[in-house]
Chains A and B, each alone.
Chain A
Amino acid sequence: MSTKTSNKQSGLATAYLIFYNVVLTLGWAFILVLTIQTALKWKTPKTDILTAKSIYPTVEFYLLVFQTAAILEVVHAAVGLVRSNPILTLFQVLSRLIVVWLVCYPFKDAKNSLGFSLVCIAWPIAEIVRYSYYAFNLINFVPSFITWCRYTFFIILYPLGVTGELICIYRAFEYVAPLNIRKQYSYFLPNKYNVSFDAYYSFFIVMLLYIPIFPKLYGHMLVQRKKIVGGGAKSEAKKTQ
Chain B
Amino acid sequence: MKVSVVSRSGREVVKGGVELKDSAKVADLQEAIHAKTKKYYPARQRLTLPAQPGKSGKPVVLNQKASLSEYCEKGSGSLTVVFKDLGPQVYYSTLFFWEYVGPLIIYPIFYYLPVYKYFGYEGERVIHPVQTYAMYYFCFHYFKRIMETFFVHRFSHATSPVSNVFRNCAYYWTFGAYIAYYCNHPLYTPVSDLQMKIGFGIGVVCQIANFYCHILLRNLRSPTGSGGYQIPRGFLFNIVTCANYTTEIYQWLGFNIATQTVAGYVFLAVAAAIMTNWALGKHSRLRKLFDGKDGRPKYPRRWVILPPFL
Contact surface of A with B, Cβ cutoff 8 Å = 188-196
Residue from A190, A191, A192, A194 with most neighbouring chain B CB atoms (10 Å): A194
The reply to whether the CB of B222 lies closer than 8 angstroms to some CB of chain A is no
When the two chains form their complex, are residues A189 and B185 in contact, meaning their CB atoms are under 8 A apart?
yes
Q: Which of B12-20, B140-148, B229-237, B257-265 contacts A (4 or more CB under 8 A)?
A: B257-265
Cα A192 to Cα B190 in complex, Å, equals: 8
When the two chains form their complex, are residues B189 and A195 in contact, meaning their CB atoms are under 8 A apart?
no
When the two chains form their complex, are residues A192 and B185 in contact, meaning their CB atoms are under 8 A apart?
no
The reply to whether the CB of B172 lies closer than 8 angstroms to some CB of chain A is no
When the two chains form their complex, are residues A193 and B185 in contact, meaning their CB atoms are under 8 A apart?
no
Closest-CB distance, A216 to chain B (whole angstroms): 11
The reply to whether the CB of B299 lies closer than 8 angstroms to some CB of chain A is no
B152-191 contact mask (Cβ, 8 Å, vs A): 1 or 0: 0000000000000000000000000000001101011100
Complex contacts, A189 vs chain B, CB 8 Å: 182, 185, 187-189
When the two chains form their complex, are residues A191 and B261 in contact, meaning their CB atoms are under 8 A apart?
no
When the two chains form their complex, are residues A193 and B261 in contact, meaning their CB atoms are under 8 A apart?
yes
When the two chains form their complex, are residues A193 and B260 in contact, meaning their CB atoms are under 8 A apart?
yes
Complex contacts, A190 vs chain B, CB 8 Å: 187-189
Contact surface of B with A, Cβ cutoff 8 Å = 182-183, 185, 187-189, 259-263
The number of A-B residue pairs with CB atoms under 8 Å apart is: 30
When the two chains form their complex, are residues A192 and B260 in contact, meaning their CB atoms are under 8 A apart?
yes
Tell me the interface secondary structure of chain A in the complex.
Answer: loop
Q: Contacts A189-B185, A193-B261, A193-B262 known; list 20 others, CB within 8 Å.
A: A188-B187, A189-B182, A189-B188, A189-B189, A190-B187, A190-B188, A191-B189, A192-B189, A193-B260, A194-B182, A194-B183, A194-B185, A194-B188, A194-B260, A194-B262, A194-B263, A195-B182, A195-B261, A195-B263, A196-B182
Closest-CB distance, A131 to chain B (whole angstroms): 30
17 A/B residue pairs, CB under 8 Å, sorted by A: A189-B185, A189-B187, A189-B188, A190-B187, A190-B189, A193-B260, A193-B262, A194-B182, A194-B183, A194-B188, A194-B189, A194-B259, A194-B261, A194-B262, A195-B182, A195-B263, A196-B182
Cα A193 to Cα B261 in complex, Å, equals: 5
Tell me the interface secondary structure of chain B in the complex.
Answer: loop
Complex contacts, B259 vs chain A, CB 8 Å: 194
Closest-CB distance, A241 to chain B (whole angstroms): 13
Complex contacts, B260 vs chain A, CB 8 Å: 192-194
Complex contacts, B261 vs chain A, CB 8 Å: 193-195
Q: Which residue of A lies closest to B273 (CB)?
A: A87
Complex contacts, B263 vs chain A, CB 8 Å: 194-195
Closest-CB distance, B213 to chain A (whole angstroms): 28
Closest-CB distance, B261 to chain A (whole angstroms): 4
Cα A192 to Cα B182 in complex, Å, equals: 12
Cα A191 to Cα B261 in complex, Å, equals: 10
Complex contacts, A196 vs chain B, CB 8 Å: 182
Cα A191 to Cα B183 in complex, Å, equals: 12
Complex contacts, A191 vs chain B, CB 8 Å: 189
Cα A89 to Cα B298 in complex, Å, equals: 39
Q: Which residue of B lies closest to A212 (CB)?
A: B170
Q: Which residue of B lies closest to A190 (CB)?
A: B187
Cα A190 to Cα B261 in complex, Å, equals: 11
Cα A189 to Cα B261 in complex, Å, equals: 11
Q: Which residue of B lies closest to A198 (CB)?
A: B119
Closest-CB distance, A11 to chain B (whole angstroms): 25
Closest-CB distance, B73 to chain A (whole angstroms): 30
Closest-CB distance, B123 to chain A (whole angstroms): 14
Q: Which residue of B lies closest to A195 (CB)?
A: B262
Cα A74 to Cα B263 in complex, Å, equals: 25
Cα A196 to Cα B261 in complex, Å, equals: 10
Cα A238 to Cα B276 in complex, Å, equals: 46
Q: Which residue of B lies closest to A189 (CB)?
A: B187
Cα A192 to Cα B263 in complex, Å, equals: 13
Closest-CB distance, B128 to chain A (whole angstroms): 11
Q: Which residue of B lies closest to A197 (CB)?
A: B262
Cα A191 to Cα B260 in complex, Å, equals: 11
Cα A192 to Cα B195 in complex, Å, equals: 13
Cα A191 to Cα B188 in complex, Å, equals: 8
Q: Which residue of B lies closest to A193 (CB)?
A: B262
Cα A196 to Cα B188 in complex, Å, equals: 11
Closest-CB distance, B278 to chain A (whole angstroms): 15
Q: Which residue of A lies closest to B261 (CB)?
A: A194
Cα A195 to Cα B260 in complex, Å, equals: 9
Complex contacts, B189 vs chain A, CB 8 Å: 189-192, 194
In the A-B complex, the 4 residue pairs with the closest CB atoms? A195-B262, A189-B187, A190-B187, A194-B261
Complex contacts, B187 vs chain A, CB 8 Å: 188-190
Closest-CB distance, A91 to chain B (whole angstroms): 14
Cα A189 to Cα B189 in complex, Å, equals: 9
Closest-CB distance, A195 to chain B (whole angstroms): 4
Closest-CB distance, B262 to chain A (whole angstroms): 4
Complex contacts, A195 vs chain B, CB 8 Å: 182, 261-263
